Amino acid sequence: MDAKEYLIKTSKELDGPIKQYIEDEEPANLIEATRQYPYAGGKRMRPAMALAAAGAVGGDRSKAIPLAVAIEYIHNFTLVHDDFMDGDEQRRGMTTIHVAYDVPTAILAGDALFAKAFQIIAELDVPDKNMRGVLRYVTKAVWDLARGQEMDINNEKKIVSEETYIETIRLKTSVLFAAAAAGGALVGGADERTVRALHEYAMALGLGFQIFDDYLGIAGDPSKTGKSVGNDIRKGKCTVMVTHAVRSIKDPRVLDEFKSILGNVDATEEQVARARSIMEDAGSIAYGRQLAKKKVDEAISKLDVLAPSEDKDFMIALAKYAINREA
DSSP 8-state class, residue 171 = I
Whether 113 and 39 have beta carbons less than 8 Å apart is answered as no
Mean pLDDT of residues grouped by 10 in the chain (327 residues)?
90 93 94 94 92 97 96 95 84 86 94 96 95 97 95 88 96 96 98 98 97 91 71 90 96 97 94 96 97 98 97 96 83
Q: How many C-beta atoms lie closer than 10 Å to residue 159's C-beta?
A: 17
> What's residue 327's pLDDT?
62
> What's residue 289's pLDDT?
96
Q: How far apart are CA 202 and CA 226, in angstroms?
A: 26
Compute the half-sphere exposure of residue 283: CA atoms within 13 Å on the CB side of its CA: 7
Q: How far apart are CA 320 and CA 316, in angstroms?
A: 6
Whether 229 and 275 have beta carbons less than 8 Å apart is answered as no
Q: How far apart are CA 81 and CA 152, in angstroms?
A: 14
Q: Burial-class residue 183 by CB neighbours within 10 Å (0-12, 13-18, 19+).
A: buried
pTM: 0.92
Q: How far apart are CA 113 and CA 132, in angstroms?
A: 21
Nearest to 50 by CA among 293, 292, 314: 314
**What is the Cα 107 distance to its own chain's centre?**
21
Whether 194 and 279 have beta carbons less than 8 Å apart is answered as no
